[in-house]
Chain A
Amino acid sequence: MTIKHIARTAAALALLTTPAVAEVDFSGKTIEWVIPFSETGGSAKWANFFAPLLSQELPGQPTVVVKYMPGAGSTKGANWFQEQDHKDGTLLFGTSGSTQFPYLLGDPRVRYEYTEWVPVMASGTGGVAYLNAEDGARFDGSANNLKDVDFIYGSQGATRLDLVPLLAWQMLGMKVEPVFGIKGRGDGRLMFERGEATIDYQTSSAYLGASADLVASGKAVAMMTWGALDEYGTIVRDPTFPDLPTFKEVCEATEGCETSGEAWDAWKAFFVSGFPVQKIAFLPAGTPDEVTETYTKAFEAVRSRPDFAEIAEQEVGKYDMFLGFAAKRATIAGTTVSAEAKAYVLQWLKDAYGVTSLE
């Protein structure tokens, strides 16, 4: 018996035995959860929140480590993930709205295809827009009195998540001038607090952490939330801020703003991808069903922890976590836009901000 022969037999045996083991067991393994961002962003916080919880619930209690692969606005990491095949289920990948938007807009750097990946969990957030006290006094549930005010807004870039608020304000007929190039929404809030910016928005947890104080002390006036999706895909009030009107309500109350038609459809498509389905955890293409199932069960167990609602408030807020089939449906909703909506947004980006690199 040669060594080659032994190796071949071993390989054959391994092939034979693998399907027989229906139970997926990660004992002694290390699961790498790769996120295409640096250690400092929101996605890092998200993955690091779930990693230890997931580790407890996966069979065999594997170590779950978060790895960072930042670059090219997260397209580098996503392009890398596209090249990965299923091996033993120890690779997990997390994307966010910043990965979805370039994909939706046809960014030239995108070489990844969402439809080939296997989603296991999706979670979302909401957002709140607010105005400075002086202009906020003229807000009456509609933007009718705000149309002749010049606003300034600290923005990370028109092709990023800021697309959603900028397009919303434009649809309301407001004149909002973005100051581009800030590094995070925290910088935007600071600009607002210094009085340099006069309008701002924050995601739910950031709003609760800092901006809500400004509103409570009268230094700012909350304007609207972007809303949340119900199970039929309709925009309803954000469960975290049930007292605030949604953009949809404000739009309906404002002259010249319509909640149907191509502008509305385009806004809604990008809103869904940027907020209710903002962060998605994927397994690589070709992952067998039993592995997917194992992850879904583990995330379900995480969600049904008695203390989950409490510990998750900071990270995921009162928003749904989509698992299994719901994650699949959410991913489709978050990563597809109609050709018309895409064309509308591209034209708007070109007209309003001179963005041409996406064509």
Chain B
Amino acid sequence: MDVFATALPALAEAWALILQPVVLGYLILGVVMGLAVGVFPGLGGIAGLSLLLPFMFGMEPVLGLALMIGMVAVVPTSDTFSSVLMGIPGSSASQATVLDGFPLAKKGQAARALSAAFTSSLFGGLVGALFLTLFILVARPIVLAFGLPEMLMMTVLGLSMVAVLAGRVALKGLAAAGLGLLLGTIGEADAGGSLRMATYDIPYLTDGLDLVIVGLGIFAIPEIIGLLRQDRAIAKDATLGAGWGDGVRDWVANKWLSVRCSLIGVLVGIIPGLGGSVVDWIAYGHAVQTTKDKSQFGKGEIRGVIGPESSNNAKEGGGLVPTLLFGIPGSGSMAIFIGAIALLGSGDIEVGPAMLRDNLNITYSIVWLLALANVVGTVLCIAASGGIAKLTTIRFTYLAPFLFMLISFAAFQSGQNFEDLLALVAIGLIGIFLRRFDWSRPAFLIGFVLSNPVEKFSNQAFQIASFRFRQSFGEGIEYLFSPIVIVLLIVTVVSVVMGIRQAKSIRVEGDVQSGSKRAPMVFLFVVTAYTVCALINANMIPDYNLTDKIVPLLVGGITLLCCLILTVQMILRPETDALFADKEAFGEDADAPYGLWPTLAWFGGFIAATWVLGFILALAAFLVTFLRVRAQSSWPRTLILTAGGIALMCVMAGALNRDFPPGLLQSAIDLPWPLN
């Protein structure tokens, strides 16, 4: 009862702090700014928050918090727009939304998908806040109970979702996940600093590939190219079939799924170090496993949108626990948030263990500001969704060049290297072929996302476990097999067994017909060759850095085994087998009026022009040529659209204080902004 005696007055104080017109005004301002930043893929809360940082200095704490929280809270809401409408994962938290949200948009049900997603987000945010209000007082020991073995098991649970999303041929899904894991190990190892598939001569590779780029390359580029080849609108018959009211009704029909996924979101969110990358996949897996008729997943199942969207906003609430209680940021934006809080007011609010004791009212203000921001953001988003959904009825040829523009800009922001653009093209190619040959792209992405945590947690847990075993056998066992680990182990096994049984009916790539043997075999051969190279490369790492080679060797070995079995199967089976799925053989892609390579060449040409002319000049040339030649647009229209696109880029870069990729021209002569 002690707990309540302190909590209730603090809660009342918090509400008194929040419910002032000026605080609400700042909150709405933050929400609007967050929405403006969040609709652009790849930018997200980090860019927005660092934009606000200079203003935080000495600001009234509640006002500053309202502004920042307004912005952070709505990013996972507003990034749904690009996931659903364009198939571009707006951030790591909405990758799973793409799987069913985008097919819904293709069916002309974008408004329905969006409003179902927003309602779920809203609900998830509220559940998160409610849960935290009680939980934050007792959270400390629970967070501390999650040691390295527990985190490793959570990561393994995330990986087990591969079983659900593996596609028709389980081995292909497994190999795709293995390839993702292998690509995730590229660069300097965390533990010993050895290089994997990288060299100091190409500094870009030593940092490894960025999640933003891999997400865009694997999901966005194949979809954009695919749609562009067909020269029609995203929504198949260019009409909107269902309105936003349907989405809200969908949510009501699935409210219990939403409750469960919200709780999953909060619980995973409170564990520091896991972050948001697994949450949406676990929620998606849960949505699949609890649905009776699984045949619609990957083709536009509304439950596949409601699940992940309920969890990703709830996760933001959960993520506040490690941030506020331990001063340990759960994500990049939370790290800036901590830094910014120190600048607020007289600097006496300090995030960390003292927060609950000294500033419980501020803590509660943060929790409920977050909930309130969710409400405001959702209302704005739902109001906008009907209008924005109309984008899916525009002829895609008019959208595509601007999407290329946006994803190139977003990719460049991740590391500000020209290599970011090259990596985007390279990963895009992998994505195109994974899609073409029906290798599960979600499985690949899960592998990539979890590569680093798997390696880190298994190495560290192993090291500490062997330390404990040296003290006594019992201590080691006790450390490794805590009750939490055992529970997670059971959940994982159940989810794998159920997943394998169900995987065959879940077509994450839609229905893909089989074609001839040659093309799928060439792709398999390339994957096998890369795996062999990665294995040889990992094996060259000296043994005293065993921590740096063990995971690549193990993962590479399993991937190679999958590839070899697939090779044997391919040789033995007839070419009508599901193994030889090839989108270029039958269906939409095969019948498309434009070929794959000429379409890709437009994007490649744009990147090449950027290398020579710099981003803005190349963009102008690209937009004009594309709109004139490919879209057959009139001159006035071409010029207006081009000017609009360049203006948008300049406003964004100017406001967020970002650079554009420079080209050879810029290194030869000095040009004024934005050409430099």
Contacts and interface: CB of A to CB of B under 8 A. Distances in A.
Nearest to B325: A210
Interface in B337-366: 339, 342-343, 346-347, 350-354
A192 to B, nearest CB: 11
Contact of A196 (B147, B189, B207, B346): B147
Contacts of A68: 50
B416 A52 contact: no
B387 interface: no
B464 interface: yes
Nearest to A356: B542
Contacts of A191: 148
Given A65-B657, A71-B207, A194-B144, A40 B193 contact: no
Interface in B481-518: none
A65 B54 contact: yes
B350 A314 contact: yes
A85 B248 CA distance: 58
Q: Of residues A72, A152, A196, which shows the largest number of chain B Cβ atoms within 10 Å of its Cβ? A: A196
Contacts of B273: 187
Contact of B200 (A109, A181, A355): A109
A355 B147 CA distance: 28
Contacts, number: 136
Given A196-B148, A209-B327, A71 B464 contact: no
Nearest to B149: A196
A52 B57 contact: yes
B200 A108 contact: yes
A179 interface: yes
B60 interface: no
Contacts of A313: 347
Given A72-B203, A210-B327, A180 B657 contact: no
Contact of A354 (B50, B272, B327, B544): B544
Query: Interface size bucket, A side?
Result: 35 or more
Contacts of B328: 184, 186-187, 189-190
Interface in A179-231: 179-182, 184, 186-187, 189-191, 193-196, 206, 209-210, 213-214
B460 A181 contact: yes
A310 interface: yes
B147 A48 contact: no
Contacts of A157: 193
A355 B657 CA distance: 39
Q: Of residues B58, B417, B456, which shows the largest number of chain A Cβ atoms within 10 Å of its Cβ? A: B456
Contacts of B57: 49, 52-53
Interface string B179-219: 00000000001111110000010011011000000000000
A180 B352 CA distance: 24
Nearest to B657: A65
Interface string A162-188: 000000000000000101111010110
B211 to A, nearest CB: 13
B408 interface: no
B152 to A, nearest CB: 12
Contact of B542 (A38, A209, A354): A354
A311 interface: yes
A44 B464 CA distance: 32
B594 interface: no
A314 B464 contact: no
Contacts of A181: 189-191, 456, 459-460, 547
B341 to A, nearest CB: 10
B565 interface: no
B535 interface: no
Interface in B243-275: 272-273
A112 to B, nearest CB: 13
A45 B342 contact: yes
Contacts of A353: 192
A214 B144 CA distance: 14
B329 interface: yes
A40 B336 contact: yes
Interface in A307-357: 310-311, 313-315, 353-357
B415 interface: yes
B147 A354 contact: no
Given A152-B464, A181-B456, A76 B203 contact: yes
Interface string A134-163: 000000000000000010101001010000
A69 B416 contact: yes
A355 B470 CA distance: 25
B632 interface: no
Contacts of A71: 203-204, 207, 415, 417
B190 A180 contact: yes
A357 B193 contact: yes
B170 to A, nearest CB: 32
A152 B479 CA distance: 15
A33 to B, nearest CB: 11
Contacts of A179: 460, 463-464
Contacts of A189: 326, 328
B135 interface: no
Contacts of A196: 147-148, 464
Contacts of A57: none
A194 B657 contact: no
A273 to B, nearest CB: 19
A344 to B, nearest CB: 20
A71 B470 CA distance: 38
Interface string B150-180: 0000000000000000000000000000000
B109 to A, nearest CB: 37
A210 B147 contact: no
Contact of B353 (A38, A213, A315): A213
Contacts of B335: 39-41
Interface in A92-138: 108-109
A77 B542 CA distance: 30
Q: Of residues A41, A76, A159, A190, which shows the largest number of chain B Cβ atoms within 10 Å of its Cβ? A: A190
B332 A311 contact: no
A59 interface: no
Contacts of B327: 186, 206, 209-210
Interface in A1-48: 38-41, 44-45, 48
A190 B148 CA distance: 11
B191 A180 contact: yes
B206 A72 contact: yes
A339 to B, nearest CB: 23
A51 interface: yes
Contacts of A109: 200, 203, 206
A69 B329 CA distance: 21
Nearest to B479: A196
Contacts of B339: 40, 44-45, 48
B467 interface: yes
Contact of B272 (A53, A177, A190, A311): A190
B545 interface: yes
A53 B347 CA distance: 15
B326 A48 contact: no
Closest 8 CB pairs of A and B: A40-B335, A181-B190, A354-B544, A181-B191, A186-B328, A45-B339, A180-B191, A210-B352
Interface of B: 46, 49-50, 53-54, 57-58, 144, 146-148, 189-194, 200, 203-204, 206-207, 272-273, 326-329, 332, 335-336, 339, 342-343, 346-347, 350-354, 415-417, 456, 459-460, 463-464, 467, 470, 542, 544-545, 547, 657
27 contacts: A39-B46, A39-B49, A39-B336, A40-B329, A40-B335, A66-B50, A66-B53, A71-B417, A72-B206, A108-B200, A109-B203, A150-B470, A157-B193, A181-B459, A182-B460, A187-B272, A190-B328, A193-B326, A194-B147, A195-B147, A209-B351, A210-B352, A310-B346, A311-B346, A314-B342, A314-B350, A357-B194
Given A193-B326, A206-B327, 17 more contacts: A39-B335, A40-B332, A40-B335, A40-B339, A44-B50, A45-B342, A49-B57, A49-B343, A52-B54, A67-B657, A71-B204, A76-B203, A191-B148, A209-B352, A210-B326, A314-B350, A353-B192
